[in-house]
């Protein structure tokens, strides 16, 4: 009887040991599962602010609306954008204090892509005393080279000699293409007119009865043919500057005409 009790006691102890080990394993498993759950929660909590921040940044992104031009102006802009080879005669007259319009030296302009030639009808003089009649400009490289080619005694000393000068001193303030491309949405069509044998559409920009600029655009090419600057005096318009781009020709300029060998 004692042997049986002893054997039973041993069996009970073994069962208790197995039960204790089993419970301990379950506790470790639960602990691991809880740890993994906490880690997942922490990771999700870390991701949420990033998503929220990205959403805020996206909502705060500036959306620039497309410009809405007058339909006719939009067509002219599209036409002029395609023109990269043309020539014209540029003239400018400025009103002086006496009310007279004084003409600036005018010249022929030849444009092919980024290369431009200005050809004066009379020799011009640099600040250091050199005479020239032609200017070769590269708008990309922003370089300017002058040379005197006219049959004038003023060119005798410098005839055929090339000199590089500051680009800013001879660069074009604007071209017929620039004037059209730079017109803002606020430009309003005022009328149609004919000038230099071309049908034009006139667009105006008015600044609160202070000043006004009108640009007359060739319907065929989309290039500007006239630019007029006005001032208002006692509610009356007064012309301050008159720019004209006449004798316009398209697609006839050769590279040799706008570059020096």
Residue spans per domain, the chain: 1-64, 71-253
- Is the Cβ–Cβ distance between 249 and 88 less than 8 Å? yes
Euclidean distance between CA atoms 148 and 154, whole angstroms: 9
Q: How far apart are CA 227 and CA 213, in angstroms?
A: 7
The tally of CA atoms less than 13 A away on the side-chain side of residue 210 is 2
Model pLDDT, residue 177: 98
Query: Which residue, 194, 114, 25, is CA-closest to 202?
Result: 194
How many C-beta neighbours within 10 Å does residue 159 have? Answer: 17
Predicted model pTM: 0.74
Rounded distance, CA 229 to CA 239, Å? 6
Q: What angle do CA 50, 53, 57 make, to 5 degrees?
A: 140
Q: Is the dihedral of CA 199, 95, 212, 232 positive or negative?
A: negative
Q: Residue 155 has what pLDDT?
A: 94
Q: Which tokens in the block code for residue 147?
A: 């040379």
- Look up residue 170 and give its two tokens: 């001879």
Q: What pLDDT is stored for residue 259 in this prediction?
A: 93
CATH superfamily of 71-253: Lipoprotein localisation LolA/LolB/LppX (2.50.20.10)
The pLDDT tens digits along the chain (261 residues) read 444 455 555 665 666 655 555 555 555 544 555 455 555 545 555 555 555 565 556 555 566 566 788 999 999 999 999 999 999 999 999 999 999 999 999 999 999 999 999 999 999 999 999 999 999 999 999 999 999 999 999 999 999 999 999 999 999 999 999 999 999 999 999 999 999 999 999 999 998 767 899 999 999 999 999 999 999 887 788 999 999 999 999 999 999 999 987
């Amino acid at each position: 009887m004692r042997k049986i009790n002893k054997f039973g006691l041993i069996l009970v102890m073994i069962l208790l040991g197995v039960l204790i080990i089993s419970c301990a394993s379950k506790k470790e498993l639960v602990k691991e599962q809880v740890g993994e759950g906490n880690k997942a929660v922490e990771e999700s909590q870390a991701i949420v602010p990033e998503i929220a921040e990205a959403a805020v940044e996206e909502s705060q992104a500036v959306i620039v609306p497309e410009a809405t031009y007058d339909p006719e102006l939009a067509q002219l802009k599209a036409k002029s954008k395609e023109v990269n080879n043309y020539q014209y005669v540029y003239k400018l007259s400025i009103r002086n204090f006496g009310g007279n319009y004084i003409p600036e030296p005018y010249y022929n302009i030849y444009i092919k892509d980024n290369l431009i030639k200005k050809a004066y009808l009379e020799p011009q003089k640099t600040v250091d005393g050199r005479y020239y009649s032609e200017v070769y400009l590269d708008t990309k490289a922003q370089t300017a080279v002058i040379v005197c080619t006219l049959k004038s005694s003023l060119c005798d000393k410098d005839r055929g000699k090339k000199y590089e000068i500051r680009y800013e001193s001879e660069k074009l303030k604007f071209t017929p293409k620039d004037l059209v491309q730079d017109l803002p949405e606020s430009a309003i069509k005022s009328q149609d007119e004919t000038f230099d044998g071309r049908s034009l559409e006139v667009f105006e920009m008015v600044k609160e009865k202070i000043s006004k600029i009108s640009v007359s655009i060739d319907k065929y090419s989309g290039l500007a043919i006239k630019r007029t600057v006005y001032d208002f005096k006692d509610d009356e318009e007064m012309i301050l500057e008159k720019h004209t781009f006449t004798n316009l020709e398209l697609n006839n300029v050769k590279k040799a005409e706008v570059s020096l060998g």
